[in-house]
Structure 1
Amino acid sequence: MNFSERDYYLGFAVFGGIGPMRFKLLLEYFGSAKDAWMASEKDLLTINLGNKLTSEFIYFRGNFSLTSFLKNLEKKKINFLTEGDRDYPQKLLQINDPPIVLFVLGNNPQLLNKKRLVAVVGTRLNTVYGKNTCRTIVSGLTVFGAVIVSGMAKGIDTIAHRTAIEANGATIAVLGAGIDIIYPFSNYELYWQIVNKSGLVISEYPPGFTPTRTSFPLRNRIISGISEGTVVIEGKKTSGAMITARYALDQGREVFAVPGPINSPT
């Protein structure tokens, strides 16, 4: 089977040991993902990947079947986007570490480059005030054609997605797990509603990837990165919502915070 350049991007994304920043260096040094994939051990060591990572990559490369993986994606109706693809979010190309690949479930990948993408994030332990405020804001944004972006976590994220769907709007869920891993599983129905009702589920993690402590914070850069602005509805200083807000500020995006009750810790 003849592989395209974007297929080799896929190989690096599945390997996982080489993140976006290192991948950039590989492209600069070798000129293409294909040449980087085919590189000798000597050449890989030349660019300071290190002995351990180089050995792990060579072992992975020798045992990984791109053909089988591509067939599995097709079977599960999972698409993938690389930076050269028309539907890859152009806003992500403006951040320091855009995902090597974005896995996509849904029938409308053009949503990723809509003008009005707004992230709505917040605590998993929302109050009634937070819920009502979220519903009001999301309903209003949807009326004006905004696409609601969130992380499908419990609490505010779930409320934001559901409200967008109820208002016949579009919503994008950015996962911190593999594209086919529904987490939390209590959002099984929501996951498929998003996929089947003019929305998208996306992830930089391949099918089968089990979420880790770092994968959730890292995905937050994508939530803010594809969005024009981020709205925070309840969130403690150490929460994922605050991580998303900091990413948004670092990326030069707008951040909006909903005032909370004066006696509320969030």
Structure 2
Amino acid sequence: MTDRESYVALNMLPKIGPVRVRRLIESLGGPEQVLSATHSRLQVVDGIGPEIAKIIHDWESRIDLAEEIREANQRGIEVVTLADETYPAALRHLYDPPLVLYVWGDLQERDRHALGIVGSRKCSHYGTQCSRQFAFQLAASGMTVVSGLARGIDTHAHEGAIAAKGRTIAVIGSGLGQVYPPENMGLAEKIASGFGAVVSEFPLHTAPSKKTFPMRNRIVAGWSQAMVVVECPAWSGALITANLAGEMGKPVYAVPGQIDRPSSAGCNRLIRDGAILVTGGQDILDDFQMLPVADSIQVGCGSTSEKPDRSGEATSRGADLPMSDDEQAILQVLDQDPMLMDQLLEETGLALPTLNATLLKLEMTGRLRQFPGGRIGRK
């Protein structure tokens, strides 16, 4: 058995975890030696009692390692372990680095230039717009956007990065055989199709739970060079992720919100406690000394996508940028009156993830706007 297979096996066992595995390897020499050790030798390792020793010693009767690897290969999922050179360097430095990463899509060297965007599942229109705009701006400038594929802010962050034709990593709190939330399966497929990767440390059929989401959060924090909190209440998983990033010595940015809005209480508190206030992606890029965001996407939260030209008249940003076939098809359908999303889906024939990403790009470049009642129309 190889070290890679041994890591996968250890990761599938209950009650073990990265910290115990590290102690076992320090004592026994490697993951393969851990699985072949005697019960008595295992239980004398610090933090390993009779119960855990028995679980490890009887590992072959508890899991089906061959089936797990076979199914991952069948699904086109790459299994990356601590034994692999392709394992993300940023995660190796965690106190409890994941033993295994199941990767649907592809990881690239440039993904080390990553920024996390997190926030509330129940976000306002303001939070939605900010999440999309920050992700669009950062991804368009070459950063990889890391988030958790959750409802709300996470979803819009991934969509914003895709609309910019950039990179995004979705770290989920379940196994890849049970993507959660299920309504984001289309978005997950879109990410894996060429815009990044959907990643999990959990065996394929692990169900989401109160335990798996905090574990997911540490990966988001560890992978990211900095954390952006867009919108969250006073108590939120996003705050946990932000605090983890801060404890790791990474910059934490927060988008301010109205002082009387509960959904902004967490961000406002972060700013009060020392997080860096930001109103657009360029604020973050300035800190990282990166090139400015292109003029057509330099839009802050709540701002319009128009600016005065030298003659004093408003000109639409992005008006001269080339358009894809999907963008042209949408604009042609919207040539008369604004439409609801269901109407656009029917008229354009586009898949929902493609439609969402294309609409966002058109909005970011000033060609579309949202009207009251959920309607979408031309500027």
Identity %: 35
Residue identity matched to 2:225:
E
Q: Quote how far apart the aligned CAs of 1:95 are.
A: 1.6
Q: Quote how far apart the aligned CAs of 1:197 are.
A: 2.5
> Corresponding residue for 2:236?
239
Q: After TM superposition, list the pairs within 5 Å mapping 1:1-266 onto structure 2.
A: 3-47=1-45, 48-106=47-105, 108-110=106-108, 114-265=111-262, 266=264
1:112-153 C-alpha deviation (Å, 9 max, x unpaired): x53420100000111111111112211111121111100000
Q: Is the 8 A contact 2:80 2:86 kept in 1?
A: yes
Q: Quote how far apart the aligned CAs of 1:58 are.
A: 2.9
3-state DSSP of counterpart to 1:180: helix
Q: Quote how far apart the aligned CAs of 1:167 are.
A: 1.4
Query: Which has more radius of gyration?
Result: 2
1:4-38 C-alpha deviation (Å, 9 max, x unpaired): 11110110011132111111001101101001001
3-state DSSP of counterpart to 2:252: strand
TM-score relative to the length of structure 1? 0.94
Q: Is the 8 A contact 2:8 2:100 kept in 1?
A: yes
3-state DSSP of counterpart to 2:11: helix
- Root mean square deviation, CA, Å: 1.4
Q: Quote how far apart the aligned CAs of 1:261 are.
A: 1.3
1:162-198 C-alpha deviation (Å, 9 max, x unpaired): 1111111111000100122111111111010111123
TM-score relative to the length of structure 2? 0.67
3-state DSSP of counterpart to 1:114: helix
Runs of 4+ in 1 over 6 A off after TM superposition: none
Q: Is the 8 A contact 2:35 2:56 kept in 1?
A: no
Higher relative contact order (CA 8 A, sep 6+): 1
Residue identity matched to 1:77:
G
Gaps of 5+ in 2: 265-379
Question: Distance between the aligned counterparts of 2:44 and 2:60, measured in 1?
Answer: 18
Number of matched pairs:
262
Question: Distance between the aligned counterparts of 1:55 and 1:75, measured in 2?
Answer: 31
More deviation, 5-14/179-188: 179-188
Question: Distance between the aligned counterparts of 1:131 and 1:257, measured in 2?
Answer: 14
Question: Distance between the aligned counterparts of 1:55 and 1:4, measured in 2?
Answer: 22
3-state DSSP of counterpart to 1:197: helix
Residue identity matched to 1:80:
V
Q: Is the 8 A contact 2:140 2:165 kept in 1?
A: no
